[in-house]
Chains A and B, each alone.
Chain A
Amino acid sequence: MLTWNLAFKNVTKAGLRTWLNVFILSFAFVLIIWTDGMYDGMSKQVIGDMVDNSIGGGQFWQSNYDPFDPFSLDDSHAEIPGNFQNLINTGKATPKLIRSCAMFPNGRVQSALLNGIDPEQNILNFPSSALKENGNGFIPALIGGRMAKNTGLTIGDIVTVRWRNVNGTFDAADVEIVNIFNTNVQAIDNGQLYIPLAKLQDMMEVSNEATIITLQKGIETIPAGSPSWQFKDHAYLLKDFYDYLDRKTVGSNIMYAILLGMALLAIFDTQVLAIFRRRKEMGTMMALGMTRGRVIRLFTLEGTMHGLLAIVLGAIYGIPILIWSASVGIGMPDTVDQTGLSLSTTLYPVYGVGLFFSTSLILFITVVIVSFLPTRKIAKLNPTDALRGKMS
């Protein structure tokens, strides 16, 4: 009880020193939560965009399909099985047929992938309905913003596309760019050309065949696959991104490390230095008859109170800031597009309850530890050394 009273008295009497200390601690606290929130927000956004624009609730791949092997691509198609067709008919799945091609924008040649998609699909957040309009006899085609920039194509341009037909000889057709879409997901943009599924099936002289069946996001039951149609879940489809996140946690994100380091330094500085500066005070208290154990408890308790105050203060000014930045988002520099991630230009931090509590706990424990350890070290000295302010 006496220790509590003394700690409370010391914390309240110290005035400015307490508030400075508490403010720095609370700042570190808010900063860590904010950084974590940015990090979580980035993951959520990337995964969300991937799900909405590309992978839905998971995909069935025709067994030959390998996105990293362009040579096997032209053999990667098969008849859509009946159970998938039922899902497609009820709007719970959508087929995609993929074919490699060469295109000739503005007199240059460029290899690309022809994607046959259903103009009526609602599974993916994708302007496929633009493929429905077809006024002037050309095959309607859709490309992404990056593809448009690389090829110099704009809406209304006609571009020749050449592919190998079933006999191994070349066929060609003209397509018209009817729309250009913007996406954060580079994989569905760079080198991709979208045309109606039925048209591509005609061009390849196949009927009702596809390469990929994408399921609706949140579908309750995954249909059974087969040797020629294999299911790829989110863990598989998002593996690259999860790998990236792993590399990041190992330390490739220097910014994050610096922020965390700064925060810890601030905690270390305020707590440890404050305690070392007070070693004469500790020596005096011991000379006045305070036991070692009580000195340690007293100073650790003071540090603990600082930690609690910091959490309260951090909540008072931090929560509005965090909520505000989560609602307006944080603008990201253009360079993030070069990371190859599906990062949008504005990031919205996401703060989970778990994040809040775990960060509070980590910070709190850190404060208690960095209060306890130096105090114990000083209290273990002879009081004479502590009195002299000597440290060895």
Chain B
Amino acid sequence: MTASELIVTKKLTKQYPIGGNFFTALREVDLCIDQCEFTGIVGPSGSGKTTLLNIIGALDAPTNGNAKVLGSEIGKMNHVEAAKLRNQYLGFIFQTYNLLPVYNVFENVEFPLLLQHIESSKRVDMVNKALEWVGLSEKAKSKPAQLSGGESQRVAIARAIVKQPKIVLADEPTANLDAQNSHHILKTMVTLNEELGTTFVFSTHDEKVISYLRRKIKLSDGEIVDDTIVN
């Protein structure tokens, strides 16, 4: 592993117990993702994209093989270490936005910073900057229920990038958005990738997203079937 390799998996296998049996969702996946990549894991529904992203995100552990993220082996971390890794280095964007409903936009974006015990004045600066990136400064006081889908996902992006993580993991971020909003958030993410050097890993089967990717990793029934760099 070189210094620029952020994510490395070796023979990564994930099985889910089903009844008395096992269902293999990922089968010996070998993968290497470098700094500054704008990569997508592409495949039909059920191919194992979310499972792979969850393991990279230290939300789940591999059954066999290993996954190293920023030098730490996911399967060997306890849940406190995993929480720390997520908090300091990873940002998540979910298909369903997952904003905290009682907080307003500002407070949602601020939340990861609270967990990092960052002092108040610095927090305000960081949140305001993140809201500027996604173009939602004027909605800082709004509650999630008052936002459109596109706005909600932009808040989620701001929340993911506010702490300037090394990696942002986005699981089908456009699945609930119309074309215009999809392009809007994708352009935002491309800009962040270029300006901040943040690595983005998507899971998607949305053509709009695929058209922005610089690398496409095709997944089918838990196996990588194709891995293409786009120029």
Contact = CB atoms under 8 A, between A and B. Distances in A.
B162 to A, nearest CB: 10
Contact of B60 (A17, A293, A382): A382
A150 interface: no
A387 interface: yes
A387 B112 contact: no
Interface stretch (B2-10, B85-93, B173-181, B215-223): B85-93
Contact of B112 (A5, A14, A288): A288
Interface residues of B, number: 28
Interface in A1-56: 2, 5-6, 9-10, 13-15, 17
Interface stretch (B97-105, B147-155, B187-195): B97-105
A284 B88 CA distance: 15
A289 B115 contact: yes
Contacts of B86: 286-289
A383 interface: yes
Contacts of A13: 102-103, 107
B141 interface: no
A384 B101 contact: no
Contacts of B159: 288
Nearest to B156: A284
A291 B112 contact: no
A292 interface: yes
A284 B115 CA distance: 13
A292 B54 CA distance: 17
Interface string B106-144: 010001101111000000000000000000000000000
Contacts of B79: 291-292
Contacts of B87: 288-290
Nearest to B86: A289
B92 A288 contact: yes
Interface residues of A, number: 26
B83 A292 contact: yes
B225 interface: no
B83 A281 contact: no
A289 B163 CA distance: 12
Contact of B83 (A283, A290, A384, A387): A290
B18 interface: no
Contact of B94 (A285, A286, A292, A387): A387
A280 interface: yes
CB-based closest 3 A-B pairs: A289-B87, A13-B102, A289-B86
Interface of B: 54, 57, 59-60, 79-80, 83-88, 90, 92, 94, 98, 100-103, 107, 111-112, 114-117, 159
30 contacts: A2-B114, A9-B103, A10-B102, A13-B102, A13-B103, A13-B107, A15-B102, A280-B98, A284-B98, A286-B86, A287-B92, A288-B87, A288-B92, A288-B112, A288-B115, A289-B83, A289-B84, A289-B88, A289-B90, A289-B115, A290-B115, A291-B79, A291-B83, A292-B79, A292-B83, A293-B80, A382-B59, A384-B59, A384-B60, A387-B98
